[in-house]
Structure 1
């Protein structure tokens, strides 16, 4: 088939490479080259890079390299031009012996991506070895009585070459008595004999000296010679004879020492000592035969000696002679062919070449991890090897060529679940019983940053007392990263946001390494009750991964605000209040009301009022409501009462310690006609509206108590859950924060004029009232005794004034 191609030289080369690559993949999967032995250094073998379809510019970046089993310095590749050349002397006879086929198997490996090619370089024989005879001189004794056509076996020459270079021909010096007969039999063994042409006459010629020459078939041919010294003997005229000229036997390579191989039998028709036969190996005897077999000189039994090894020698050719004991000894000859049978006595060999370790856990499936080659010195089924892998997940073995495997990643890796794999490659032959060998592969999985830092819970609740010192440690966040090394190195930072008109970083900070959260300034419950923000945890991987956790910091109230007096209807705020009271009023008349608020909350904002007795004065006819601040008469006024009463009202909260303020009320006692009508109407109308207001507030208080009971139950459940969880850090101040206090009339907390409800700063200021059931124990230092019992009886009425 002809192709017309009009592209440039580079395009033509590319097409040629593609065609060669397609032909190679469709064929055996190998490149074949040939080179003659004894080639000089630098001799061109083939353009291996071009034939494999590889660009010259990518040989070095892709780590192009050539490996061979055994001698690795015979062939080399020039990475500049991609040429395979002879690197050192190649002796075919040393490399392969007398094997008919001789090849060097190369394994070509390139990375990025990993590819493996197999190259076979055939080593061709040259005629560099001349024929060699076992000895330079050969002495032969021939009885003069031997008839014509008698044959005398000769040792042929050997040639280390193969093929036509080892095809030997023989020639003998011309003479009248002896001729040369060389034959090849079906067993590929040569038979060289000296044939007697006519009857010998010892009295005429006692010794013949002939030169035997062996020539091989090479060009130019090489020769070897041996000097035949033939001595003519007299007397004994019958030689021993064997039943066969060639005996063939088989023996297992694991035969025990002394196993009988064969019992040879030769006969001699002579009588007496001329018929007594002695058996021996015909000299010269090769060392292989001497080490493997022994012959009994009297019986002709041949037994094993030492251990046979099929892998070292498969066939023994033994020349045996039987010599009689005549005055002129005569000999008979035969050839014994011993075939050694293979048994499964060699375990497979496994060689593992690791190519990429450790393995990144993001390595894609089907990536090649290592190359594995197996071999077995046995033959047939005993030398057929199969490989298996344990465990099977997440790797597998892929057969790439005969006795070559690739260890391939079969599924995705996860270092956090398994960081190390110990694989076992088992090679098992096909013998019966089969032999096996194992090789271990230790694989480490390298970490990649695929896990973000994780907090134990999505949010934390922290309680901090207000007025904490600047730089106070309030909590510690901690995130765990399942990765390793720098991928697990976690740093912390605030997720910046605005808290009202200020930045979050002006309130708190977090230590980048320890995760400790610090309050940068004193917190004020009256300004900020709840500070909610996020802390980010980020690892040091590339790219970094992160996650956030929410912190809810509740600022607990402390008693740091003094009660503030509000303006009364008769005077200014904080000054003396003047009131006119007719002397005719009876007990229970409301004179005025002292009003005060506390910026704190809860018990710290629960105010009580007390009337301080004047020094040296008689019992005052006035009293003040413990929780309402209303000043009223305790009895009917009389003329003995001083016209000007100076009342000092002490306003006190329920904090620890309690904070107080005082209000001065000046009450002037006048006659009924001197009281302004507006004041009288006010005094007269106090009872009606306030009584109605008390009725309304009774229902309101009942509703508040019901809601409070539900809230207390919720708090109890929340406390139980918090106790079962790990404790959180609550810093800035000893002791436990008191959130709710109680008294005999119930538990409640109150906050007035809150400037900021939550950290977002949204929503207008509100007035809060939280009422709880009286089931909680009273706060330490709470008012008890007569004043408390009096307050309890009037509580439902007095608490209404807070609305």
Structure 2
């Protein structure tokens, strides 16, 4: 029975599908052998034989049984399993199997129909081989006695067609049609019975079908003639119909059929029972009260298994012989929404690229519900907020497609919950979860942990050392996330940066190619590129600044006295009349390093008389500790050690030879004391001279005041006297200070201008003046970051004598690759401005005024003298 109801369900499903036009349909007979060809599926679907294999043509079954398969070599649809039409479709006139054909890559779904034709493979059969009837001898001629119907599972011309009755004396056969198109054989009494003549009649009943050849089935009828109890029970109706819900509880009253018997006594007492051939499927569900005939429910009903029951009821009296009456109860089961919808994946979901356009098919889905009518109507829904939706196709078939942009980096796998809900009351639903994997596309460039890196590296490092390791990450996966590092080509001091460093392409470690010299290079700018291996590849850049840190690798170099630089002794002279604290000379040295490594200290290492001289630790000034006595040697020799503050300490020495002489200052005093006595003839000339000197003095005073006011205003606006802000823009450094040191004691006059912070001697400007110079020249030495001090000294010695006024400067350019010519030009003016704005300017001014006054004075005498002579 279960197969029969399943076949009915299939028939109902097939009828629904048959409303769709344009479907491929085949017809075959049932019971074909496995491998029998149904049709050329590839040809009918316009596919080539290569497409059958490459696109994976296959058959999907909805019934749970795979009755067909595809011969991939020929593209033919062939029988895969035994097909029993009676088991699939029962007594249905049409038997059509729907078959879903799935073509993958890309996904396509086709529906074909296979009509199963009946063959005469079943003979008519009765429920039993023996049939017994009790007929009273008083039965009237023409009385009809219903017989058991035969069953033939075949349909059409192959099904049951007729009955024949064996030869007998009293009975004939009539066929009665009942509602539903069924036929029931009835035994008709043609002649009165006489139990005394013959108490038992045996007749053969044969059922015949319409097949070719004809098949038949038989049953033996045994008729027992009873003595008169000539009234049998009669039901009010021959057929009772009742509807019962499938969720009815046990004990529910189904029906209470009524029967009566005209006899009296035992012949009129009736007992009710189910027919003798009532199947077990009825007996397990229903029960009957033998006294009242009331039928009640004792088992569970399932509309999906059995939709209707036909129950034979027998009413027997207690007469002798017993008489019985018959009726039929038809119980129709009404459906209850007790089956949740089922979700079936016709094609499992495949991974989807994250750049897949909207509408891309992910999977094919179908839904089904075993209930009927509205209880079997199913709708599918997806959870909200997902970039997917369901696109209906036909007959509860859907395609899961994309509906928005996908991003694997945000979500690499979607958990999609599909809900199927029927239209019953109350509705029932079921859920199924499907996982859709998103495959990566190279849409994210590598990203460094920071846009730029600062690295501090000591000079003179070992070549091949690792400077730094940069790191970048890529949000993509697999090949799209594999990163290689490289250095972009750029110039450092007109040399390719790849000459200085190289990078490990796998881990981003940057190595030095050789050691670095801080005095030649302060910073290296490296452009690092991180590139993934996607197609097309993506990249990003980061800047690595490698700052070279100074090491104490340069010893101090002596720049004054200049003769000491050349390796010979420095000869100095001093008067014997010098008092304590007299400035003998000044030793000046510079260090090419920076910071603490360039801090210089001076120390008197050896001396002819250590009690006579002292050396300032920081300035290098050589002074007398006491007054010179007559007992002191006229020739003194000093060995001065110059040390820096680096680690390890670097040092240099200079030897100074001092010759003490008498009367070193007399020429200057004589020059100041010489003057001609005025005569009476030059009285007027003297008056003119006084007026001229007064005018020049007033003019000089006004000039000084103007310069002073200008310097004060400039210092307020720019922070340095006699310089403009625009002149210093190229040398801005918040750690630099301008220090001016003036020394006017002793025979050597000098002003020292220091620019920079306490840890750096990057700018130093010194001017030394001697009142004993017989030259009025002023020499400016151009600063350079790579000054060769021996060359400087050579220039000094070649251009000036030992006692001339000199202006010495040494500048270290912090920015490698700068424009040195422009740098030198700006500093040249800067030195001059600082010089003239310093305290030494007043001494120079006095000398200028003195020379100018003396020149005017001589000019005036000459004019007056020529005038008096001509007069």
1:87 to 80, 88, 103: 80
Alignment map for 1:238-249 (pairs within 5 Å): 238-249=231-242
CA-CA distance at 1:261 after TM superposition = 1.0
Cα distance change, pair 569–599 in 1 and its aligned pair in 2 (3 A):
closer
Check whether the contact 2:784–2:813 (CA below 8 A) recurs between aligned residues. Answer: no
Q: Deviations over 1:696-753 (max 9, x none)?
A: 99979836999899844899xxxxxxxxxxxxxxxxxxxxxxx98539xxx7644873
SS in 1 for 2:54: coil
CA-CA distance at 1:227 after TM superposition = 2.5
Check whether the contact 1:530–1:757 (CA below 8 A) recurs between aligned residues. Answer: no
Cα distance change, pair 160–572 in 1 and its aligned pair in 2 (3 A):
closer
Check whether the contact 1:533–1:552 (CA below 8 A) recurs between aligned residues. Answer: yes
Check whether the contact 1:599–1:753 (CA below 8 A) recurs between aligned residues. Answer: no
Give me the whole-angstrom Cα distance separating, in 1, the residues matched to 2:526 and 2:649: 34
SS in 2 for 1:244: coil
Check whether the contact 1:701–1:796 (CA below 8 A) recurs between aligned residues. Answer: no
Question: Who is 2:720 aligned against?
Answer: 702
Give me the whole-angstrom Cα distance separating, in 2, the residues matched to 1:195 and 1:176: 12
CA-CA distance at 1:216 after TM superposition = 2.1
Question: Who is 1:732 aligned against?
Answer: none
- The more displaced of 518-527 and 154-163 is 518-527
Alignment map for 1:468-507 (pairs within 5 Å): 468-485=461-478, 487-500=480-493, 502-507=495-500
Alignment map for 1:679-690 (pairs within 5 Å): none
Cα distance change, pair 467–798 in 1 and its aligned pair in 2 (3 A):
farther
Cα distance change, pair 617–555 in 1 and its aligned pair in 2 (3 A):
closer
Alignment map for 1:395-544 (pairs within 5 Å): 395-485=388-478, 487-500=480-493, 502-539=495-532, 541=534, 544=537
Q: Deviations over 1:681-708 (max 9, x none)?
A: 9xxxxxx9xx99x999997983699989
Question: Who is 2:54 aligned against?
Answer: 61
Give me the whole-angstrom Cα distance separating, in 1, the residues matched to 2:762 and 2:813: 15
Check whether the contact 1:320–1:336 (CA below 8 A) recurs between aligned residues. Answer: yes
CA-CA distance at 1:304 after TM superposition = 1.6
Give me the whole-angstrom Cα distance separating, in 1, the residues matched to 2:365 and 2:71: 26
SS in 2 for 1:140: strand
Question: Who is 2:343 aligned against?
Answer: 350
1:144 to 132, 137, 145: 137
SS in 1 for 2:188: strand
Q: CA RMSD in A?
A: 4.3
1:217 to 186, 192, 210: 210
SS in 2 for 1:59: helix
Check whether the contact 1:170–1:215 (CA below 8 A) recurs between aligned residues. Answer: yes
Q: Deviations over 1:92-121 (max 9, x none)?
A: 112232334322222211222111222221
| Residues 1:742 and 2:758 are matched in the alignment | yes
Q: Deviations over 1:227-255 (max 9, x none)?
A: 22223222111111111111111111121
Give me the whole-angstrom Cα distance separating, in 2, the residues matched to 1:602 and 1:414: 55
Question: Who is 2:785 aligned against?
Answer: 754
Alignment map for 1:589-668 (pairs within 5 Å): 596-605=589-598, 607=600, 614-616=607-609, 619-620=612-613, 627=619, 643-655=634-646, 659-668=650-659
2:334 to 313, 321, 341: 341
Question: Who is 1:182 aligned against?
Answer: 175
SS in 1 for 2:393: strand
Cα distance change, pair 439–711 in 1 and its aligned pair in 2 (3 A):
same
Cα distance change, pair 650–312 in 1 and its aligned pair in 2 (3 A):
same
Give me the whole-angstrom Cα distance separating, in 2, the residues matched to 1:51 and 1:354: 22
Check whether the contact 1:570–1:579 (CA below 8 A) recurs between aligned residues. Answer: no
1:319 to 289, 309, 312: 312
Question: Who is 1:779 aligned against?
Answer: none
Structure 1, unpaired ranges of 5+: 1-23, 682-687, 716-738, 771-794
Structure 2, unpaired ranges of 5+: 1-16, 673-699, 738-754, 765-782, 787-811, 828-836, 843-871
* TM-score, structure 2 normalization: 0.72
Check whether the contact 2:463–2:515 (CA below 8 A) recurs between aligned residues. Answer: yes
Cα distance change, pair 798–243 in 1 and its aligned pair in 2 (3 A):
farther
Aligned length in residues: 714
CA-CA distance at 1:345 after TM superposition = 1.4
Give me the whole-angstrom Cα distance separating, in 1, the residues matched to 2:563 and 2:582: 17
Check whether the contact 2:602–2:615 (CA below 8 A) recurs between aligned residues. Answer: no
Question: Who is 1:773 aligned against?
Answer: none
SS in 1 for 2:88: helix
Question: Who is 2:569 aligned against?
Answer: 576
Question: Who is 1:386 aligned against?
Answer: 379
Give me the whole-angstrom Cα distance separating, in 2, the residues matched to 1:329 and 1:714: 137
CA-CA distance at 1:178 after TM superposition = 2.5
Task: Specify which structure has the bigger relative contact order, considering alpha-carbon pairs within 8 angstroms and separated by 6 or more residues.
Answer: 1
Give me the whole-angstrom Cα distance separating, in 2, the residues matched to 1:279 and 1:541: 86
Check whether the contact 1:494–1:535 (CA below 8 A) recurs between aligned residues. Answer: yes
Q: Deviations over 1:123-180 (max 9, x none)?
A: 1222221211222232222112111221111111111012333252223346553232
Give me the whole-angstrom Cα distance separating, in 2, the residues matched to 1:567 and 1:749: 18
Give me the whole-angstrom Cα distance separating, in 2, the residues matched to 1:43 and 1:701: 108
Check whether the contact 1:697–1:796 (CA below 8 A) recurs between aligned residues. Answer: no
CA-CA distance at 1:274 after TM superposition = 0.8
Q: Deviations over 1:599-651 (max 9, x none)?
A: 2234544556666672336635x988964x67789999897775545454554
The structure with the largest helix share of the pair is 2
Cα distance change, pair 437–623 in 1 and its aligned pair in 2 (3 A):
closer
- The more displaced of 748-757 and 503-512 is 748-757
Give me the whole-angstrom Cα distance separating, in 2, the residues matched to 1:354 and 1:227: 57
2:265 to 263, 272, 275: 272
Check whether the contact 1:361–1:446 (CA below 8 A) recurs between aligned residues. Answer: yes
CA-CA distance at 1:497 after TM superposition = 4.3
SS in 2 for 1:319: strand
Q: Deviations over 1:572-614 (max 9, x none)?
A: 6342234566879999998776554322234544556666672
Check whether the contact 1:66–1:76 (CA below 8 A) recurs between aligned residues. Answer: yes
Check whether the contact 1:420–1:443 (CA below 8 A) recurs between aligned residues. Answer: yes
Check whether the contact 1:427–1:436 (CA below 8 A) recurs between aligned residues. Answer: yes
Give me the whole-angstrom Cα distance separating, in 2, the residues matched to 1:207 and 1:584: 182
